[in-house]
Amino acid sequence: MQEAYKLSILYYLAFSLLLIFSAIMLFEHKIGFSFSGVLEYYTGNEEKFIPAQSVGGILKIVLPHIFVFGLFAMVLLHFLVFADLRYKKNITLLVYTAFIVALLEIFTPFMIIGGFEFFAYIKLFSFFTFLTLLLYISWLLFQSITKE
């Protein structure tokens, strides 16, 4: 790979870190990292004057994220091909897990407002797993690029 392209990918990784950091800040501010926080955000709490989310309201947030999660994961994962990591066995597992966890992260709010409170745990789990996977992929890329 050309040196200049490596530079471009390294900066993309830096932006990715910033995006992940802003996502954590936004999640913490709007929802919170506790089971009750997630539940209250989606199903509401009369005592705390938190309105319940509607299907339409969730869809408004979910819609851009469907595209963005797919695109962001695809761009990051396809750099693995350039970094010659595509033939490693666990990369296939990584790709599957990244997209499945992203799907869970996006669609669990619908289950929560549908009365399945347990999905609040899955929401938290999938959020952190997705971000951890993105960080792991970024680390793999960083290692591969700086080693070459």
Partner 1 sequence: MKFTVIKNLQKDSAMSLILKGLLFFILLYVVSDIFVMKSSFGISAEAVSSTLFGSEEAYIDPINESSFLEFWHTQIFFIMMILLTLSAVFIRVAKRSRTVLTNILMISALISLISLPLAFYTSKFFIDIYVMGYFLWHIVAIYMIFYSFWKLNARSV
The residues, any chain, with a CB within 8 Å of residue 98's CB and separated by 6 or more, are: 73, 77, 130, 133, 134, 137
Instruction: Count other Cβ atoms within 10 Å, centred on residue 48.
Output: 7
Site map for partner 1, 27-56, x if CB under 8 A?
A: --xx--------------------------
* Least separation in angstroms between CB 99 and partner 1: 18
Q: How far apart are CA 9 and CA 7, in angstroms?
A: 5
User: Which of 55, 59, 63, 71 is in the footprint of partner 1 by CB under 8 A?
Assistant: 71
**Residue ranges that bind partner 1, judged by CB under 8 A:** 2-5, 7-8, 11-12, 14-16, 18-19, 22-23, 25-26, 29-30, 68, 71-72, 75, 78
